[in-house]
Amino acid sequence: MCGIAGICSAHEPLTGRDRLQAMADSLRHRGPDGEGFYRGRQDQAYVGFAHRRLAITDASDRHIQPFRYLNRFVIVHNGEIYNHGEIRQRLVQQGYVFSTSGDTEVIAAAYAAWGPDCLHEFDGMFAFAAWDEKTGTLFCARDRFGEKPFFYHWDDASRTLCFASEMKALWAAGIQKKIQPAMFLHYLTLGLTYHPGLPELSFYEGIFQLPAAHYFLWRPGMDGIQMTAYWDINKETITDIDKGEAIPAFRRLFEKGVSRRLECQRPMAALVSGGLDSTTLLAAARNLQGPRTGYPGSTGPSTASASRGVLDAGIEATDDVKNRPSRMISDSFSAVFPGYEKDESDAITSVNRHFNLTPHLTEPSGEALVASMETLAWHQEEPFSSASVWAQYTVYGYAKQQGYTVMMDGQGADELLAGYERYIPWGLRELEISARQEHRREPKGINPGFQGYGPEAFWENGFGFTWNYRRSISAKFPGFTTAFLESRARREHARHPYIDARFLDTYSGSGFIRKPIIRKLNDILYHDALQGPLQELLRYADRNAMAHGVEARLPFLFHELAEFLFSIPANLKLRDGWTKWILRESYRPSIPEEILYRKGKTGFEPPQKTWMSLPAVERSIQKARQKLVDAGMLKPAVLRKPVRPHSAYERHAYDWRTWVSAQFI
């Protein structure tokens, strides 16, 4: 895990060492363990790379980047290739020789062997740039889900390409920091942190991001870059698989991903929220690792017996179970909010006791948020949706203080396994249609009891959603529903009570208001996992972890697992009144029952409304309002209105967005 930056230009002075040094210095937090530079030339192209290093796999000097391979390729890499050992073995058989044990050299060798097709071989989170000194070709790529960032700027006048892990490195190189007004307008009115149709856009003019699962090539003389998508998920083809086959298949893939991500030479801990995802991740890790011993006073059940319970249920041990990783997770980190109605302290305690983990609890506060808002915004670089970002930032900071460099996190499970309540109506509608087709009978209104998949079971388990004739009509006419939702969003956008009319009229276009057409459960899961919402959460996680020089590993985003989950029927995700059914059923013997059958869905939510009621926060928001009024974004009348506190996930979070936006203006 590192920070990378580079410049490719027809003008040698633009790739100067001082400029590269400034870019590296701005990324010091991403790589506190060292730095490296490269400058080269091919015909009329001049290339410079900068790298800041966070040593995870091997701390020796052999791994210093920029890394040269075969006296031809130069590479800078940010991230981890979890299966680099397997790829290395295949390349050795083809005659490639290695001088290190790390993954960067494997990327270089794989590119030398297979060209851009090497990306299909990688399981990992990555963003890298490889320069071929022989052909004068720059090859840049980003991982499938966009866990690792990659920003770039192309200057047509000077024919110069700059790239970096974070935009602050581009600004350090002298690229103008100029906001994109339309992005800020749509964030203020609708809370959008991305353009739904143009994933390459950032909040700043002239600065773009390489979309997830894409690569680009650049050669001297090219007008800009040549971008290509290399991976996608098939959401249309559903396999005929029953639960007896699906559960062991799910476990094999999940534990394969977990096993690879447990391989590490630095201290590793887990981020525990008290929810199902992080708990199941721990169960899988413990099944792979075996029981923890030598820690008296545990009140949890034996991990060995829990693992045996799964095996006795007819689930065979995978090769990853047989070859257990050596890294043991023995510590957890969590954010708690004593006295808050959504505090997860009891659930967190239950998980820590069950797995005999040493807990590390931190209590983020509103006062600390006020004091740190400028720093938080500097690391995030773009607006963020709620104070949960601050809580996550605090947890990663505390982990670093306690000496941990690598954290396991359950991010991504909800988007792949239908964990959010908003997914349930689409799943129910799909199940209803399937049931009626199977029984060859025509629909007669809503049948809440079809094959045991009715809405009542979910309501009884605490999941809140509407299921009425409007939902039925919406599901039957998805095009109409999309048009209605877009129309409603346009009204909300136009009726924001504080937006300046000239600002609205000037920047309200640009195609921001787009809703996906949803016909089935996989449609909305695909949208959320690959077209925006999950990428937003991954951006928060990357910046929050790397702000402290911490690497976050996300086993649910193993691409083979994701492809499998999109291929299984909806009734294996939503069943018996529970979301994420296959996850629950696969690890039912291994996790606490109070977590497994916990009612409803509780997100990672801090007491934002209480924090916004603090006098210091209200004063800060009033200053933010004045700043946006001066910038021509808000009406002066807003200065006479009282601040309205609101919760983290409230729809009309106008004052929170105002406070956040002002940090970037």
522 shares a domain with 503: yes
Q: What is the pLDDT of residue 55?
A: 79
- Could you tell me whether strands 2-9 and 45-53 are parallel, antiparallel, or unpaired per DSSP bridges? antiparallel
pLDDT-derived band of residue 368, with 50, 70 and 90 as boundaries? very high
537 shares a domain with 460: yes
CB 39 within 8 A of CB 48: yes
200 shares a domain with 317: no
Report pLDDT digits (tens) over 268-288.
999 999 999 999 999 999 988
CATH number at residue 467: 3.40.50.620
Beta bridge partner(s), residue 67 = 75
Query: Does pLDDT of 60 surpass 60?
Result: no
CATH number at residue 128: 3.60.20.10
The answer as to whether 578 is a domain residue is yes
420 shares a domain with 294: yes
Domain boundary among 558, 573, 598: 598
Task: Report the domain count for the chain.
Answer: 3
The answer as to whether 235 is a domain residue is no
pLDDT-derived band of residue 267, with 50, 70 and 90 as boundaries? confident
Tell which wins on pLDDT, 37 or 434. Answer: 37
The answer as to whether 237 is a domain residue is no
State how far the Cα of 364 lies from the Cα of 265, in Å rounded to an integer. Answer: 30
Q: What is the pLDDT of residue 291?
A: 55
State how far the Cα of 134 lies from the Cα of 125, in Å rounded to an integer. Answer: 28
State how far the Cα of 530 lies from the Cα of 34, in Å rounded to an integer. Answer: 34
Domain with 615, as residue range(s), is 608-661
119 shares a domain with 9: yes
Tell me the average pLDDT of the chain.
89
The answer as to whether 466 is a domain residue is yes
Domain boundary among 573, 598, 623: 598
Domain boundary among 229, 259, 291: 229
The answer as to whether 557 is a domain residue is yes
Q: What is the pLDDT of residue 437?
A: 61
Structure tokens at 113: 């062997």
49 shares a domain with 74: yes
The answer as to whether 537 is a domain residue is yes
Query: Does pLDDT of 504 surpass 70?
Result: yes
90 shares a domain with 32: yes
Q: What is the pLDDT of residue 664?
A: 97
CB 46 within 8 A of CB 20: no
The answer as to whether 236 is a domain residue is no
295 shares a domain with 175: no
Query: By percentage, how much of the chain surpasses pLDDT 90?
Result: 76
Query: b/e map of 573-599 (b: 16 or more CB within 10 Å)?
Result: bbbebbbbbbbbbbbbbbbbeebbebe
Report pLDDT digits (tens) over 28-51.
999 999 999 999 998 888 999 999
